[in-house]
Homo-oligomer: A and B are copies of this chain.
């Protein structure tokens, strides 16, 4: 029994540690989205997560560690949600293309993008932050591109298709930026409808 007790005591401890880490990551993203990089420190996040500052520093040594891990964590969750959501897409044609474009635009108009945007903009001026944010952004961008290609059924061996899919992601990012300041849902809906029509015919045309 002397052997069993430490094990049963250890497992809940690991669970608690994982739960704490998760609370910190989620609080960090919310903090970044609401207060920007300037207002986002490990101390502020720890308080928001209801975790002691010492415990927070045990998980994340620096502010940069915490916030890049936070965006990465939420991006992973978001990619998993996209994959899940993809099962409910229409089978083919313009309806499917439009549903995919709506899904991608949805990504760039949510809280994750808002938080990421603060991190991106801060990273442009902060030497400490920049290389990891560049690496993170590349990784998320590549994965978003890969999913877009898969969901759209795009054949990237056809000249121009790769660039058209990338343009779609850039357009979604631009719409997200506009949404940061005001809710322009009607404008966005009209653009998504028109873009989807054009994209669909660009993807279906013979090379």
Which residues of A are interface residues toward B (Cβ below 8 A)? 34-39, 114, 117-118, 120-125, 130, 133-134, 137, 141, 160, 162-164, 166-167, 169-178, 180-182, 187, 190-191, 193-195, 197-198, 202
User: Which residues of chain B have C-beta atoms less than 8 A from A195's C-beta?
Assistant: 163-164, 167
Q: Evaluate contact between A174 and B170: CB separation under 8 angstroms.
A: yes
Q: Evaluate contact between B182 and A178: CB separation under 8 angstroms.
A: no
User: Which residues of chain B have C-beta atoms less than 8 A from A198's C-beta?
Assistant: 164, 198, 202
User: Which residues of chain B have C-beta atoms less than 8 A from A177's C-beta?
Assistant: 117, 120, 173-174, 177
Task: Please state the number of chain copies in the assembly.
Answer: 2
Complex Cα distance, B207 from A17, in Å, reads 61
User: Which residues of chain B have C-beta atoms less than 8 A from A39's C-beta?
Assistant: 125
Query: Taking CB as reference atom, which chain B residue is nearest A198?
Result: B202
Query: Taking CB as reference atom, which chain B residue is nearest A160?
Result: B194
User: Which residues of chain B have C-beta atoms less than 8 A from A175's C-beta?
Assistant: 170, 174
Complex Cα distance, B198 from A191, in Å, reads 15
